[in-house]
Structure 1
Amino acid sequence: GVDGIDLEYGITNSNIEEAVLHKKMIEASLRTIILADSSKFGRRGFGKICSLDCIDVIITDSGISQSMAQAIEEMGIELIVV
């Protein structure tokens, strides 16, 4: 899973082995969709999975801040709030 989504650093996971596996999966994929609750935004885990320019869609809950949502959409990432 994803432990952190940081606008500058990218998508992270605190388990380095999982981060490496997720990175390889993203490299092999045609489209990357992240499912993460709003508590993950603005946080960084230990292992970097990828930068945000590798992400096509982020699905999250309504707890995401308006400024974070706007920044993500301005990066060209489709944001789905459920």
Structure 2
Amino acid sequence: MKLILLQKVENLGDEGDIIEVKEGYARNYLLPKKLAIEATKGSLTQIDILKRKKKQREEKELDAIRQLQKKVDGIRLEFV
């Protein structure tokens, strides 16, 4: 059964990963605990949108970190 992980699951994958597991494991563990959803066309489209938003957010955070690094690089500390 194909599923999309909603959060990181040890030994399976990270949030947004598409995995294939046995139906019993999916129905008895992953789906009831809301760790995953079934991989349908609609859910795959939704995950694709979420991945793009996550990537944009990560790029913004990385830019902010780089700007902060530039500010910090120019600072010199002296301890007396």
Category of TM-score, reference length = shorter chain: under 0.3
Q: Using structure 2 for the length normalisation, give the TM-score.
A: 0.26
Greater CA radius of gyration, 1 or 2?
A: 2
> Hey, which of these two has a bigger chunk of strand by percent?
1
Q: Using structure 1 for the length normalisation, give the TM-score.
A: 0.25
> Hey, which of these two has a bigger chunk of helix by percent?
2
Which structure has more relative contact order (CA 8 Å, sep 6+)? It is 1
